Chain A
């Protein structure tokens, strides 16, 4: 299953800046990035290994495809060649509801819904949200977010009231950034279970991994996942209330999926990796040791 991430946000919020960072990052994974317009991307031509009409292949293994008029057919065509990428990222148009696009991953078993990241322009979001023609579009986008990237914080006059207002629009955790400068792994996932903290993570972030030999209380795990500051989580856990099956945990921001999977294998141990704000994870660590 290919992880499927949607990046939403109103025109000018910084979606393209974020995508440029993703395409340049050294993640060891091949992203297929579906964008509205190649022209807006800042791709070093020396890194382009092939340029078809609608697709650009980069030296680091990433692919860029233009969406053109139909997102649906673009995704389906891409899925015909699954060995070319490890993760799909879709740039929603500035007026689209990114949650609806993320729903497509639920309809196709080749895709795993990863998350909806909504980029917010700290300088203009409140004004836009009050506009009589686009206000509802903006607030729908905020409400659809699993994770908010509050961008251009240098342009906001006063951040605390903006943070307060954002929390009334969406329960999603908020990452703050300038020029969409944020650790890529925070947004696009943990490469593998038990992986270390992302190399490029700023000091404020950390990852924490857990292993349990015995079945775990569901409530304890849910408590950890729902602690403020946990931005991502991934795990395969044996719960006391469902010891016969693997419970697969996937969390992006405030969206948590726990899916019943195959039968539990006796050789396995429960594993969980959290990624988030350092102070929070420090606290979780002590909680776990109790």
Chain B
């Protein structure tokens, strides 16, 4: 029963009784005390570990909406516009034009076995001033093997002529999702289901396993740890046996650096089957793996033009999006899981989807009254003040997609939502003012995992082009830091166990090089993360 006391420049505890302390004592993986060295002496003998003496320590960050798929895609080369840190700490430079993308993949191509397909991800041509990738670009990478480059939104891909030939795609192929140029020739750009089908075909069915095997879970945990995350969700998974086995094996290791919470894909099987299945899985929970969450996906995405929006719909006149689980089906699923006592996370991007979800929760509560259900709208990007008031009244939470403001804010302003709705999207300020418990998230691999960056987005609301998108919805640094710790823990029903530095809670810390409350708010994202502590075990991040 050894005790370690860590002095630091300061601990920001999220405990309003003692918001800032200099020392924390850890015993058996939990926080024994937080205060001055004198106060902690009362607990008896301890070892003093001074390695964090010049660091600023926060509760370990909690990523309430990410996908372990982030670890899966790192098996393949990243070709995005922005720098991105790989699980081993290597920083990949963002690629600023199509030639750079082609050059990186030409080099990668030389490392592949003959006949193997080349898959890449993260491609982001929206910053290339209108220049799209075309067949001749991708064919420069290879005309001997299938090449598929998946875009950062995971809904669009570019393929080479090998892939098109294998599928028999020509100028006469009339299928939604095959982009053609002015002369009617396919450009190799594929969209939505067409893109998914061709990517899986080119890569072979093994890819499904590669994307979610034990190694993928490890890579996900490492990339999260680098960003100071100690608890992360895999927020939508059918939980096939092979995946569950990967989670169990990975989380059994003391070296596994995060606590992982998968969310069961509720619509994938009827609730009568899903509920007992998840209940059985919960018996396998351990300190680093927690089955308890359920997710329902209602609509698509705003930038994918598939979000369900209320009147007046898309700013550029695009027809309304598509339902995954529609208004006529959500009650059946939600009520079953709600009545079985589960907390349900509901993906809603458009405001019509949020409305449908809120009303479904209201009906579920009438049918089966429950306290403290904390059903959470995930994304809720277009929710307006009225919807937040309803969420508050119903005891719901929101997890807002703050990273969207930076990555797609300019497009939302100009094309999808128009100025007013873009300025009030991901309305952290409204959530705070209304009293809706909220978190903010990255939705990795859609955007990189990095809670300090996500907090920076909520605080500054800057788009990639530098526009401040909705001054009134900005929140303070302190509020943003709460959203990535205790706030997120609350939306996962883990707030009594972690999310703040308080006696009895788990010794999960994010170790920072600088003080987020002292640096200028626009520098929040640049603070270095030294590493983390999980249950008292120290994980130093590899330096790139």
Contact = CB atoms under 8 A, between A and B. Distances in A.
Are chains A and B native binding partners rather than an unrelated pairing?
Answer: yes
B264 to A, nearest CB: 11
Contacts of A95: 322-326, 328-329
Contacts of B328: 10-12, 94-95, 134
A211 to B, nearest CB: 29
Given A77-B205, A133-B327, A72 B200 contact: yes
B269 A66 contact: yes
B497 interface: no
A194 B318 CA distance: 47
A204 interface: no
Interface stretch (B10-18, B107-115, B149-157, B167-175): B167-175
B329 A99 contact: no
B238 A11 contact: no
A103 B326 contact: no
Interface stretch (B27-35, B188-196, B414-422, B451-459): B188-196
A261 interface: no
Contacts of A136: 319-320
Contacts of A75: 197
Contacts of A71: 193
Contacts of B326: 11, 94-95, 133-134, 137
Given A103-B175, A109-B168, A136-B319, A94 B327 contact: no
Nearest to B192: A100
A106 B173 CA distance: 8
A60 B192 CA distance: 36
Given A73-B200, A94-B326, A133-B352, A39 B273 contact: yes
Chain B: number of interface residues, binned into ranges: 35 or more
A107 B198 contact: yes
A80 interface: yes
Interface in B146-186: 167-169, 173-177
Contacts of A183: none
Residue among B174, B200, B327, B328 having the largest count of chain A Cβ atoms under 10 Å: B328
A134 B323 contact: yes
Contact of A68 (B192, B197, B268): B268
Interface string A75-118: 11100100000000000011111011101101111000000000
B272 interface: yes
B205 A73 contact: yes
A103 B273 contact: no
A69 interface: yes
Question: Which of B169, B272, B322 has most chain A Cβ within 10 Å?
Answer: B322
B325 to A, nearest CB: 8
Contacts of B269: 37, 66, 68
Nearest to A104: B197
B329 A11 contact: yes
B369 interface: no
Interface string B250-278: 00000000000000010111101100000
A134 B327 CA distance: 8
A108 B175 CA distance: 12
B537 interface: no
Contacts of A72: 193, 196-197, 200
Nearest to B311: A132
B237 to A, nearest CB: 9
B267 to A, nearest CB: 8
A104 B205 contact: no
Contacts of A103: 175-177, 193-194
A144 B79 CA distance: 37
B392 interface: no
A95 B299 CA distance: 11
Interface string A150-168: 0000000000000000000
Nearest to A108: B167
A171 to B, nearest CB: 17
B201 interface: yes
Interface in B335-358: 352, 356
A104 B178 CA distance: 11
A147 B63 CA distance: 48
B208 interface: yes
Contacts of A93: 324
| Interface core residue of A68, A72, A136 (most chain B CB under 10 Å) | A72
B176 A99 contact: yes
B319 A100 contact: no
Contacts of B308: 133
A148 B325 CA distance: 24
B352 A107 contact: no
A100 B193 contact: yes
Contacts of B273: 39
B268 A69 contact: yes
A163 B197 CA distance: 37
Nearest to A259: B172
Contacts of A134: 323, 326-328
B201 to A, nearest CB: 6
A177 B208 CA distance: 41
Contacts of A107: 167-169, 173, 175, 194, 197-198, 201
Given A69-B238, A95-B323, A103-B176, A109 B329 contact: no
A10 B327 CA distance: 12
Given A69-B265, A100-B176, A80 B205 contact: yes
Contact of A37 (B169, B194, B270, B325): B270
Contact of A76 (B177, B200, B265, B327): B200
B200 A97 contact: no
Contacts of B323: 95, 134, 137
Contacts of B272: 39
Nearest to B319: A136
B238 A68 contact: yes
Closest 7 CB pairs of A and B: A95-B323, A95-B326, A103-B175, A69-B268, A68-B268, A106-B175, A69-B238
Given A95-B324, A104-B194, A106-B174, 17 more contacts: A10-B328, A39-B272, A39-B273, A69-B265, A69-B267, A72-B193, A72-B197, A73-B200, A76-B197, A76-B205, A93-B324, A100-B192, A101-B193, A103-B177, A103-B194, A107-B197, A137-B326
25 contacts: A10-B328, A37-B270, A68-B269, A69-B265, A73-B205, A73-B208, A76-B200, A76-B201, A80-B205, A94-B326, A95-B322, A95-B323, A95-B328, A99-B176, A103-B177, A103-B194, A107-B168, A107-B173, A108-B197, A109-B168, A133-B326, A133-B327, A136-B319, A136-B320, A137-B326
Interface of A: 10-12, 37, 39, 66, 68-69, 71-73, 75-77, 80, 93-97, 99-101, 103-104, 106-109, 133-134, 136-137
